[in-house]
Chain A
Amino acid sequence: MKVKGFLKDVGGASRVTKARLAAFENASPLPVMDDPIGNVAREWHPGKIDLVVTDVRPAGKTATTVRFERPDGKKLPPFYAGQFMVIDFPMGESLISRPYSISSAPYQARLAEHAFVEITVRRSKGDGFICDYINGSVEVGDRFRGMIGCGQFYYEPLRDAKHVVALAGGVGITPFASMAREIAHGTLDFDLTILYGSVSSDDITLKDELDQLKSDKLHIVHVLSGDEPNWNGERGFLTAELIQKYSADDTTYFICGPQVMYRFLRGELAKLNPPQRRVRFEVFGQAKDITAFEGYPQEVKDKVFNLTVVRGIHEDVIPAKATESLVVALERAGIRIETGCRSGECGFCRTKVLAGDVFICPESDGRRAADRDFGYVHACTAYPVSDVKIKIPIE
């Protein structure tokens, strides 16, 4: 066979080898740390960063807004309006994380000076843990670590309609507060109508701050479920009829609120029958009462099991209540596990079950198919129903 001529053909290997050595010989001897693409990735996603509280203010009668900045006041990571942040709270021996939607706008995280993010947290009716800690104990100057820009609950122009109806219940207003601020600032472009369900007019979270932002692109419709004779706005629940009234021909619905509202709204939206792609729910949150879910083995609900936790070659055995997720058992025992959404979706808490059985909250099973086959669970939505052995990452 012949390509160009015998000698040239057979000399190919040595020719390319010489070319290689020459290229290296002529190259610069100076080390170059030239990874700008990696740098952009790290600017968007630096992981957990140090934050300091610079403001704490009421956001209505039963909620508090907390502002965080970097200790040096520099820019925070970019995020999309509607996303949440995860904050670590040191509680005694434990480090407990919670997700909170960012209620401030993305542009505010990129200000040249005193860039900030805010969360707005509702006080509980007595059963809350971190939320009541925030509504009372957090002060200016406190330091936390947090991860900014998590989750999929944001406007995607390549997917969503230009007309958005947001269905918010209670503190579920927070992601829409961020969107509203960004729209008002002119850096997010769609028409947003927020149907905002609250109980009474004197306790609407973030009401004053939001009402100020109203414009022809931003409508806020307060809907009260309580009995108030002097109220001349919308009343009752967020029914199909009400939703229809504010919808355009092509509308994307964004829904964020308490778990009971999700169940109710699934029914109401079904009546309007929008295309599946036009309906976007924020994640479910941690199940309030796992025993209420279909398939939960009621006979174990009062039990406390042994949870063997493998990290590297190290093993611990800790107690785990049948009604609390593996994540809560670990946090109570002071064993660190990374979490994000705490709703089964993000997979941050991916854990291998080596032995024993768990019940997985059926509303929030966001696992990969192959993971299911090999006994991986998302520990925030997995509840022990026997003694269990798991392997988790070393933190």
Chain B
Amino acid sequence: MKFYKDHYDVIVIGGALAGLSAALMLADKGKDVLVLERHNLPGGIATSFVRGGIEIEAALHEMMSIGSRDHRLKVGKFFDDMGVDIDWLKVPEAYHAAIPGLEVTLHPGLETFAREVDAAVPGTYDKVLAVLNLCHTVFDSVNELSIHPMSKPQMLLKHEAFVKTAGYSTQEVLDTFDLPQKALDLLAPYWIYVGTGFRELPFTIFSVLMADYIGYGSYIPRKFSHEMSLKMAERAEAMGVQIEYRQHVDKILVRDGTAYGVRTARGDEIYADYVICSAYPNKVYTSMIEPADAVPVKAIKMVNGRRLSLTAFSVILILDKSAEELGIKDYSVFHGDTMDTNACYDELKGLGPYRYITCICHNLANPDATPEGTCSYSITTLPRVDGWKTVSADEYDRVKHEVAKQLIDYMSEYLGVNLLDHVLECVIETPMTVAHYTGMWNGCIYGYAHTMEDHIVARLQTAEEEHFIDHLEFSGAHQISGDGMGPAVTNGRKAAKNVLDTMAKEAKE
């Protein structure tokens, strides 16, 4: 029985957002694409599941880079261009910050945001707006430069702010504004979406984060992130992409330094001119390349020289009262005993107690998310992999329940309601859950940490040299744009673009 064609232009390993974005873009250019996904549905962690008859979002808090219908940002525009028609719902606020001495709800729009910070910390409007404007200028430059690269002198002329802040951490740049601590605290909460403390976080990344989320707000698909993943997959299939689920790729086949196909756990050998891989380079270079000696030492040094970023721990509760009855007022709330991002980042190394927590109540952006009289409430922390690496299979359930209990107690105290009295369904997602469903290396959902030694500007500059096997591209959070579902799409498109560029170049030669 023959399940596959003799040959494809491109095989994409992994049918999550990055892989599907790559497949869409390649299919749009008429390429013959096969997507192999290990799970039985698309999306990776951009998915949902059903418990007790209620559909529950698995991971998405908010999508960045979508924009409104009249002013689409790059990811929203890509979906539109590809004919992936998603029913986007706007998240009403940026976030509610529940931090020492402050309870403030902030809304998107740079001026609105600055005004609301000023209301909480009077006299800060001009400076806060200046920070946000600087972020926006850098953000514009990043977007433009990713499409039109230019020479260094030209860059300095046209993209001065970008060039001059590139070498600094977020903390170094923020320090120059001389803002009161409370205002800084209100600017900090989103840090967890990029996952490094400000001492190490490149200001470039902070800029993109703030300009995108605060400038334009965020969105969620009405039918959970599964709507997004499924619509991408359906559209790709309609464009001729072959997607096969439950196919686990064991090996990437390499000859003369060039990838030419894959072998699945089932034993199928499938051939293609190019392979795009969503698995972590750590896994690929240590166990997936056949023959193993096709992996140069430089590739091993590269993965060993990078630090894994964050994984996820979420307690998702379906509660038997409405958000209103429980006193839950905002879609997205960031809670911190401290807003010192460096201290928070250190704390995430352990197994708790975690004190930087993100809560999402879906019903407040999507009233129909759960049946009437109930609501969905997720309590999330994004630990580093270090602590979880020490947990054995026999300890796992105990640790998981201890951490879950800590998070529930923390939020119960904040809300003044014992959440445990209202639990209809309780789902605990851990780094192991991520590893189980997606196969991601150490359950790490964020790729490599954004640091000054692993800076996006440097990632762009050295991309060529870090390309160790011809016709093999990577896509996923471990690539240039880093973590997040919006960046996943960008990373996937970048991989597809690399393939298309190489195809064009080799056709000329």
Binding site for B on A (CB under 8 A): 1-4, 8-13, 15-17, 19-45, 78, 110, 152, 156-159, 275-277, 311-314, 338, 345, 347-348, 350, 366-371, 373-374, 393-395
B394 in contact with A29 (CB, 8 Å): no
Q: Which candidate, B70-78, B212-220, B354-362, B439-447, is the interface stretch facing chain A?
A: B439-447
Nearest-neighbour CB distance to chain A for B493, whole angstroms, equals 23
Binding site for A on B (CB under 8 A): 1-5, 40-41, 48-53, 55, 134, 152, 156, 160-161, 163-168, 172-173, 176, 202, 223-224, 226-227, 230-231, 234, 242, 244-247, 266, 268, 282-283, 285-287, 295, 297-298, 300-302, 304-306, 311, 315, 320, 385, 388-394, 396-397, 401, 404-405, 408, 420, 422-426, 428, 431-433, 435-436, 439-443, 452-455, 457-459, 461-462
A3 in contact with B432 (CB, 8 Å): no
A158 in contact with B401 (CB, 8 Å): yes
A37 in contact with B432 (CB, 8 Å): yes
Known: A78-B396, A158-B405, A159-B424. 18 other contacts (CB 8 A): A1-B160, A1-B164, A4-B168, A12-B164, A12-B457, A20-B453, A24-B305, A28-B301, A31-B285, A35-B283, A38-B440, A152-B52, A312-B2, A347-B49, A348-B40, A369-B223, A371-B230, A395-B246
B161 in contact with A1 (CB, 8 Å): yes
User: Could you say which of A36, A347, A350 has the most chain B C-beta atoms within 10 Å of its C-beta?
Assistant: A36
Within the assembled complex, what's the spacing in Å between the Cα atoms of A10 and B162? 10
Q: List, in ascending order, chain A residues with CB within 8 A of B156's CB.
A: 10
Q: List, in ascending order, chain B residues with CB within 8 A of A11's CB.
A: 167
B234 in contact with A374 (CB, 8 Å): yes
Nearest-neighbour CB distance to chain B for A225, whole angstroms, equals 29
Within the assembled complex, what's the spacing in Å between the Cα atoms of A347 and B58? 15
User: Could you say which of A25, A31, A157, A350 has the most chain B C-beta atoms within 10 Å of its C-beta?
Assistant: A31
Nearest-neighbour CB distance to chain B for A370, whole angstroms, equals 4
Q: List, in ascending order, chain B residues with CB within 8 A of A371's CB.
A: 41, 226, 230
A314 in contact with B2 (CB, 8 Å): yes
Q: List, in ascending order, chain A residues with CB within 8 A of B404's CB.
A: 158
B397 in contact with A78 (CB, 8 Å): yes
Within the assembled complex, what's the spacing in Å between the Cα atoms of A196 and B109? 62
- Known contacts A9-B164, A13-B457, A277-B422, A27 near B302 by CB under 8 Å: yes
Nearest-neighbour CB distance to chain B for A69, whole angstroms, equals 18
- List 7 A-B pairs, minimum CB-CB distance, nearest first: A12-B167, A312-B3, A27-B305, A16-B455, A41-B435, A9-B164, A393-B246
Q: List, in ascending order, chain B residues with CB within 8 A of A3's CB.
A: 164-165, 168, 172-173, 176
Within the assembled complex, what's the spacing in Å between the Cα atoms of A39 and B401? 19
A20 in contact with B425 (CB, 8 Å): no
A29 in contact with B297 (CB, 8 Å): yes
Q: List, in ascending order, chain B residues with CB within 8 A of A21's CB.
A: 462
- Known contacts A27-B305, A29-B297, A347-B40, A41 near B246 by CB under 8 Å: no
Q: List, in ascending order, chain B residues with CB within 8 A of A275's CB.
A: 320
B439 in contact with A38 (CB, 8 Å): yes
Nearest-neighbour CB distance to chain A for B233, whole angstroms, equals 9
Within the assembled complex, what's the spacing in Å between the Cα atoms of A32 and B268? 27
- Known contacts A152-B51, A157-B401, A338-B40, A24 near B298 by CB under 8 Å: yes
Q: List, in ascending order, chain A residues with CB within 8 A of B390's CB.
A: 36
Within the assembled complex, what's the spacing in Å between the Cα atoms of A12 and B53? 54
Within the assembled complex, what's the spacing in Å between the Cα atoms of A43 and B435? 11
Q: List, in ascending order, chain A residues with CB within 8 A of B304's CB.
A: 27-30, 32
- Known contacts A13-B167, A17-B461, A370-B223, A37 near B454 by CB under 8 Å: no
Q: List, in ascending order, chain B residues with CB within 8 A of A40's CB.
A: 391-393, 396, 432, 435
B462 in contact with A394 (CB, 8 Å): no
Name 16 interchain pairs, CB-CB below 8 A, sorted by A.
A12-B166, A19-B453, A33-B286, A35-B282, A35-B283, A36-B442, A37-B431, A40-B435, A42-B436, A158-B428, A159-B423, A277-B423, A277-B424, A312-B3, A338-B246, A373-B223
Within the assembled complex, what's the spacing in Å between the Cα atoms of A366 and B55? 9
B453 in contact with A394 (CB, 8 Å): no
B301 in contact with A16 (CB, 8 Å): no
